[in-house]
Each structure stands twice: as structure tokens, then as C-alpha cells.
Amino acid sequence: MFLADQGRDAVIARRIITFEHFPAIGPPSSIGQVYLGPFFYYLIAPFLIPLRFDPVGLAYGVAILSIVGLITAFIMLEKTVNFETAIVFLILATFSFNLISFNRFSWNPNLLPFASFMTMYFLYKTIYSKKNNLWYGLLFGAFFGFSFQLHHLAALMAVPIGLIFLYYLAQQKKKRISHVISIGVSLIGFLIISFPLILFDLKHDFINFRNLNSLFTKQNIVAGGSPLTRLLETNQAFWNIALQISLPAIPLFLLSLVIIGLLIFFIRKNKVHPLIVINALNAFSFIYCFSLLSSGRFPHYFGVAYLSMYAVMGYFASFLLKKPVTIVILSFLIVGFLFVNASQYYFIAGPPSDQIKRAEQIANSITPHMSGKLFNLATYPIEFTSEETYIYFLEAQGYHVADRGVSQVTDQMFVLCDRGPCDILHTGSWNINMFGKAKIDTMWEVEGIKIYRLVHE
């Protein structure tokens, strides 16, 4: 995939590598003028270098980081819980169509499943380790900060984190001071990762914080209607996406209740591993908290919960590996999971989208019509928002797009239209009208996109 968000990220990553600009804020979120942190940009930018600034390098970067994250999560579960839990977890996560789909292109939410799982793991290590818990606390805070920079919904992890710390502060009075120190160290880790975003807010009158506060106090971010209905819908959406199935809400809600009931039973018998309890609390509390928000139920919104739930499922599946009969049952369940997910692998036999190549061809068609290094660019109609993909290749050739933020106007504007009628001279688009009174100098078409060069009358 190489659309608007990928084009924007590629432009910013290239500017980082070429030392042109070092951003203090990250991508804008989909919930108002609230910005994420920039850590994702700095993480993926180096992957442009091996492929000589081909933007597909960023997709390779996300894929490599995801593979490393998956192997690391497997090792963590194997060493901490048991091999059986880890191997079932690995199968579920490796062949999940949803996770594969995420990790085939560059986008900030795509790494959230791995960052959130690491957050829960280092939370566990911070609480239970007899030594090095301060280092674990620092890592816990850093991964929580990184998760929050990947998507704002990672903030919902604060609920299980807070509950877990409160529980252990109440239960282990002798270690209360140690836990308080660990919390302080975790906060330091969070602040280190979040420092650029904090610095940006300090320099800009806390604009990001004020927008985020306004989102909760003045906008309808809290869902209306029946809380139970919203919970049923959210739980159904999660399971249908996580397992690639299509079942009604009630059976899937019963599935969640059965898992929660079994966890409570094993906890009372002291037969469940604390790391599994932490991940279960993370997954189910996220589903509940997310059900309170008025938002679409898109796959990437559940990034916090996927690997945590796969770990819980792997733990219960490990009990089925004790006897031959239950091994057969588990085998059928896993084969069914593999079958329904593999049936969605459109990228194996389907035609390629060639979105990067297409963007490059369109950008290359513009350069012969350039009268200078600076230009204005716009797309039409308003739904056509992938202009950054073309800007990336034009900037690579030494051209620079005018700064729309300060209404900068040059002597030429290129307008790309992907559907007719392309009445670009009579439009309500501010991006085009800011150029002033104009006429069409020339027009051509590439890959189904009509490109107009405008000049001043």
C-alpha cells in the first residue's frame, strides 16, 4: 500500500535521513487535531537507505520489525510460561490474516500489537522480577510511551496497568516502596520516549494537550445508546477480526464469558501464570473500554488486544496438549483457523496494486512541465487525498512543493483529478482557489489520472 499516509510518512522519513527536518510531532490522529509522537518516523526512516530511497523500504522495515517482535514474543512466552503456550501463540499470530495484512505496508498503527505486548511483558517483569526490576520498569515505560505514539487508543492500557499496580501495592505491603520506585522509573521511561512531543507542546502553548482535552470535554467521543449493546458489538467485532470468522454477537460474548470464567477459576486455584492474567486483563479491559467510545470498529483499532488474546488462547490450548483425544480436538481447531485465514490471503495469487510504481510514473510525467523548482500541487475532488505520494518522488528530483500552511503561491500549480467531471476552475476547493485567478496551460493523462498545469491569468 502506498496511499496518502504512506506518502506523508515517506516524505518525512526522507527528510530525516537527508537531515532536512527533524519532526517533534508525529502523524495526525483520526480524532481531531491531535498529533501522535514522532518516534515511528525515526524508527522506520533508516530502512530507506538500503533500498536507495525507494519507499518500499519503509514497508520492509515494518515487516522486519514485526518478524523480530513476533519471534521475541514467542521467546518471552516460552521462557516465562511454557513452550506449548508459546507455540500455539506463534501459530495464531503468524498466520493471522489481520496481522499479516498490517505488516505488509508502512503505517504507524501496524506495530502496535507488538509494542503493546512488550508493554505487558515488561509490566510483568517490573512487578515480579527480584532483580533488575528498575531496568524492566524503564523498558515498560518506554514501550508504553511507544505504544501511545503509535495510536492514541493505546492510552486504554492505562486501565489494566493502573489496576495491576494498585492490586500489588495493596497485596504486597513489604514491597510497596519497591513498586512505587518502579512506577517512578517507568514514568521516566515514558517521558524519555515522549520528550519530543512534550517539547513541541511546550513551544506551542500546549496545543496538542488542549485539543486532546477538548476532544473528551466538548466532542461526542463517548458512545450513546445502550452500554450492553455497544459491548456486544465491540466484542463481536474483535473476535470476528481476530479469528476471521463471522458469528453473531451472543455466541461470541459467551465465548468471552467462558474465558473470563476459566481464568477466575484458575486464579482461585493458583494455577494460572501471572503473565497470562495480565494479558487477559489487557485484552478484555480494552474491549470494554473501547465499547464506551463512539468510533468505528476498524481492525487497526484493536491492535492493543490481538497478541494478548492470542497468548491467553495459547495458554488454554496448552491444556489440550496433555492427552491424545484433546490433541486431536486442538488440531482441528488450529487447522480451521489456518483455513479461514489462508482463504483471505489475496496477496499470494492476486494482482499487484503497483501503487508505488504508479505514483512514480505520475510524478515523472510532471517534471517535463516544470518551469521552476517550486510549485503548488492539489488534488480533485476532495476525496482524492494521496498527493504526498507524488510529492515524495518530485522532492527526490529536487523539486519542492509550496507551503500551503502559509498560503505560499508560486507561478505554477499542478492539479491531479481522478474522476470526472474535472471542473477544476470552478470548485470550492481552497487548495486550488488559493492559487488565485488561473487558466489551464496544458493537460495530459497518466494511469487514469488527469493532470492539469495551471498558470496565473
User: pLDDT per residue over 69-78, tens digit each?
Assistant: 999 999 999 9
| 114 and 24 fall within a common domain | yes
| 220 and 300 fall within a common domain | yes
| 252 and 387 fall within a common domain | no
User: Mean per-residue pLDDT for 377-388?
Assistant: 87
| 291 and 399 fall within a common domain | no
Q: Give the pLDDT band of residue 134 (cuts 50, 70, 90).
A: confident
Which H or E element spans position 70? helix 56-80
The string of pLDDT tens digits covering residues 253-308 is: 999 999 999 999 988 888 899 999 999 999 999 999 999 988 889 999 999 999 99
| Share of residues in the chain with pLDDT > 70 (%) | 96
| 419 and 386 fall within a common domain | yes
User: Mean per-residue pLDDT for 397-425?
Assistant: 92
Instruction: Return the DSSP state at 107.
Output: -
231-245 burial string, b = 16+ CB within 10 Å, else e?
Answer: bbbbbbbbbbbbbbe
> Among the three residues 297, 331, 347, which one is the final residue of a domain in this structure?
347
What pLDDT is stored for residue 428 in this prediction?
A: 87
> Residue 451 pLDDT more than 60?
yes
User: Mean per-residue pLDDT for 324-333?
Assistant: 91
| 195 and 64 fall within a common domain | yes
The interaxial angle of helices 274-291 and 306-319, nearest 10 deg, is 130
Q: Give the pLDDT band of residue 328 (cuts 50, 70, 90).
A: very high
| 372 and 442 fall within a common domain | yes
Q: Identify which has the larger pLDDT, 170 or 125.
A: 125
What pLDDT is stored for residue 31 in this prediction?
A: 64
| 335 and 416 fall within a common domain | no
> Among the three residues 320, 347, 374, which one is the final residue of a domain in this structure?
347
Helix (H, G, I), strand (E, B) or coil at 321: coil
What pLDDT is stored for residue 215 in this prediction?
A: 66
User: Mean per-residue pLDDT for 372-400?
Assistant: 91
What pLDDT is stored for residue 291 in this prediction?
A: 94
What pLDDT is stored for residue 304 in this prediction?
A: 97
> Residue 362 pLDDT more than 90?
yes
User: Mean per-residue pLDDT for 19-48?
Assistant: 88
Q: Cβ of 142: how many Cβ atoms within 10 Å?
A: 23
| 313 and 392 fall within a common domain | no
Q: Give the pLDDT band of residue 216 (cuts 50, 70, 90).
A: low
159-181 burial string, b = 16+ CB within 10 Å, else e?
Answer: ebbeebbeebeeeeeeeeebbee
Helix (H, G, I), strand (E, B) or coil at 440: strand
User: Mean per-residue pLDDT for 149-169?
Assistant: 91
61 Rama class: left (phi>0) / alpha (psi -120 to 50) / beta: alpha
User: Mean per-residue pLDDT for 318-341?
Assistant: 91
Asked if the peptide bond before residue 381 counts as cis, ω within 30 degrees of 0, the response is yes
What pLDDT is stored for residue 201 in this prediction?
A: 85
| Angstrom distance (rounded) from CA 250 to CA 253 | 5
Q: Give the pLDDT band of residue 213 (cuts 50, 70, 90).
A: confident
Q: Give the pLDDT band of residue 115 (cuts 50, 70, 90).
A: very high
Q: Identify which has the larger pLDDT, 322 or 51.
A: 51
| 399 and 272 fall within a common domain | no
> Among the three residues 347, 369, 395, which one is the final residue of a domain in this structure?
347
* 35 φ, ψ (degrees, to nearest 5): -105, 145
What pLDDT is stored for residue 440 in this prediction?
A: 95
Domain count, the chain: 2
User: Mean per-residue pLDDT for 100-107?
Assistant: 94
> Residue 349 pLDDT more than 90?
no
What pLDDT is stored for residue 393 in this prediction?
A: 96
| 68 and 47 fall within a common domain | yes
> Residue 219 pLDDT more than 60?
no
| 246 and 381 fall within a common domain | no
Structural domain range at position 419: 355-456
Name the average pLDDT for the chain: 91
What pLDDT is stored for residue 263 in this prediction?
A: 93
Spatial CA neighbour of 114 closest among 55, 154, 155, 59: 154
Amino acid at 392: Y
Model confidence, pTM:
0.91
Q: Identify which has the larger pLDDT, 282 or 383.
A: 282
What pLDDT is stored for residue 218 in this prediction?
A: 58
What pLDDT is stored for residue 351 in this prediction?
A: 86
What pLDDT is stored for residue 446 in this prediction?
A: 94
